């Protein structure tokens, strides 16, 4: 289907995530084997879609690649004969995310991010999953051989829904584990990232390094001392403490990892440990958005700054496309439904594991067993997602409530049911009609 091809049709759903979309497009334009095709940008908000389409067109023109760029306010006009459909959407956008955190805080729940676990993730799943399945079902008719490449959070829930309830090939990607590996290489071991060979597995935003090698030598026995002497243990104190408890080092850093363990998000603990990532006040996120706005302004108003988008995003989507098109074998971290890949986590839930990719597709690696405590934590999230995906697709409030009671961050809440009802009521305009009852 893809082997030997040099032209592809790409669809970006949620293209209003402007800089992220631009960097992914930049990755595509930077691949020598890709000569052209179509880039179809989809977003329901025409006000953000128009400038992104203009910026993408400028970036394409700068590279001279033969791509036709088009803008669409509904995915239905963009899917025909698509090859890769990239999900970067967030139903309700930034405003809904901020409202979620504010409401959860009012009920006593702290969340450092609020997009993977916790009540913020619960309502995000209820908003996002119906659209994911709706688009994938449309793809079964419009482009049945296409891949969905998912970047929408919660990654595990998105991938579970698409892979369980549709026939479309899909995989979820996250740069968190390779980014953490690169930091360990450079800041802890003092070597270039390519010198550190590693293997990791778990669930999205909570993977665990099972192997660390430099020049063929196991360096895991040195890790604790190196983390302390380099100062990295102070930079990521939660990840360091969890390594001492569970025996393996986690990724992708405290901002995400601490949400899986409610102890760290209690006010007294956050203050005592002087954690950098406390309850999400969006100060850091706002600064990232302001920086991104300047990058977009530069290319739109001055037609300059192209290098920002062409230097490589650090995302791995084009690695997969290259492998499918050229046969070059790569290995990347991928979110897939477990089929014995982690042997002491039940099949049927989504795990994040290293995966080989070649011209024939994706081949997840068999990891074997993770330490029992780690497997238990990973499986608990997977089971929570099973409940929530079903709730999102059926309007089953009871399953959503069960997930709230199972969620570790809801342990901080005196009234999980009241919080769920508040989140649903605030999001009725973003939820399917069956939640109106």
Between CA 1 and CA 360 the distance in angstroms is 9
Beta bridge partners of 38: 9, 68
Domains identified in the chain and CATH numbers: 7-174 (3.40.50.720)
| Residue 163 falls in which region: left (phi positive, over 0), alpha (psi -120 to 50) or beta | alpha
Number of helices and strands in the chain (H, E) = 17, 13
The neighbouring-strand residues paired with 342 are 368
Q: Using 50, 70 and 90 to split pLDDT, how confident is the model at 398?
A: very high
What's the pLDDT tens digit per position in 219-263? 999 999 999 999 999 999 999 999 999 999 999 999 999 999 999
Average pLDDT, the chain: 96
pLDDT of residue 437 exceeding 80, the answer is: no
Q: Is there a cis peptide before residue 101, judged by omega within 30 degrees of 0?
A: no
Residue 314 has pLDDT above 90, yes or no: no
Tell me 154's DSSP state: S
Tokens 């916790």 correspond to what residue? 118
Q: Give me the pLDDT at residue 97, please.
A: 97
Cis peptide before 252 (omega within 30 of 0): yes
Alpha-carbon distance 384 to 399, whole Å? 9
Q: What is the pLDDT of residues 15-26, one digit of tens each?
A: 998 789 999 999
Give the pLDDT band of residue 317 (cuts 50, 70, 90). very high
Q: Is the pLDDT of residue 312 over 90?
A: no
Beta pairing partners, 170: 148
pTM of the model: 0.97
The pLDDT of residue 423 is 98
pLDDT tens-digit map of 336-370: 999 999 999 999 999 999 999 999 999 999 999 99
């Amino acid at each position: 289907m893809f082997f030997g091809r040099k032209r592809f049709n790409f669809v970006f759903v949620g293209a209003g995530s402007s800089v992220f979309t631009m960097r992914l497009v930049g990755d595509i334009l930077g691949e020598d084997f890709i000569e052209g095709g179509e880039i179809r940008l989809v977003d329901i908000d025409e006000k953000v879609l128009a400038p992104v389409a203009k910026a993408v067109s400028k970036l394409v023109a700068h590279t001279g690649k033969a791509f036709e760029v088009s803008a669409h306010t509904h995915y239905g006009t963009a899917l025909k004969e698509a090859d890769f459909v990239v999900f970067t959407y967030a139903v309700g956008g930034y405003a809904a995310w901020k409202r979620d955190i504010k409401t959860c805080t009012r009920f006593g729940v702290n969340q450092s991010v609020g997009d993977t676990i916790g009540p913020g993730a619960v309502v995000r799943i209820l908003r996002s999953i119906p659209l994911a399945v709706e688009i994938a079902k449309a793809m079964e008719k419009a482009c049945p051989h296409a891949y969905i490449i998912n970047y929408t959070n919660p990654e595990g829930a998105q991938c579970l829904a698409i892979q369980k309830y549709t026939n479309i090939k899909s995989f979820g990607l996250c740069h968190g584990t390779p980014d953490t590996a690169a930091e360990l290489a450079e800041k802890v071991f003092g070597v270039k990232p390519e010198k550190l060979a590693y293997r990791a597995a778990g669930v999205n935003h909570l993977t665990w390094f099972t192997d660390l090698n430099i020049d063929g030598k196991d360096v895991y026995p040195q890790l604790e001392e190196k983390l302390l002497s380099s100062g990295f243990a102070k930079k990521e104190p939660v990840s360091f403490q969890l390594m001492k408890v569970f025996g393996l080092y986690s990724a992708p850093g405290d901002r995400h990892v601490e949400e899986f363990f409610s102890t760290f998000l209690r006010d007294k603990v956050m203050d005592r440990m002087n954690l950098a990532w406390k309850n999400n006040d969006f100060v850091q996120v706002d600064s990232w958005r302001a920086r991104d706005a300047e990058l977009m302004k530069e290319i739109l108003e001055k037609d300059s700054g192209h290098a920002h988008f062409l230097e490589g995003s650090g995302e791995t989507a084009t690695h997969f496309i290259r492998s499918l098109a050229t046969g070059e074998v790569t290995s990347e971290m991928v979110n897939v439904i477990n089929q014995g890949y982690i042997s002491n986590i039940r099949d049927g839930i989504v795990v994040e594991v290293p995966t080989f990719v070649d011209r024939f597709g994706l081949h997840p690696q068999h990891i074997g067993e993770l330490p029992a405590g780690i497997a238990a934590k990973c499986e608990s999230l997977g089971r929570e997602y099973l409940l929530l995906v079903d709730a999102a697709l059926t309007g089953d409030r009871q399953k959503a409530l069960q997930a709230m009671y199972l969620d570790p961050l809801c342990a901080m809440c005196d009234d999980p049911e009241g919080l769920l009802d508040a989140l649903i009521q605030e999001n009725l305009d973003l939820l399917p009609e069956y939640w109106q009852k």
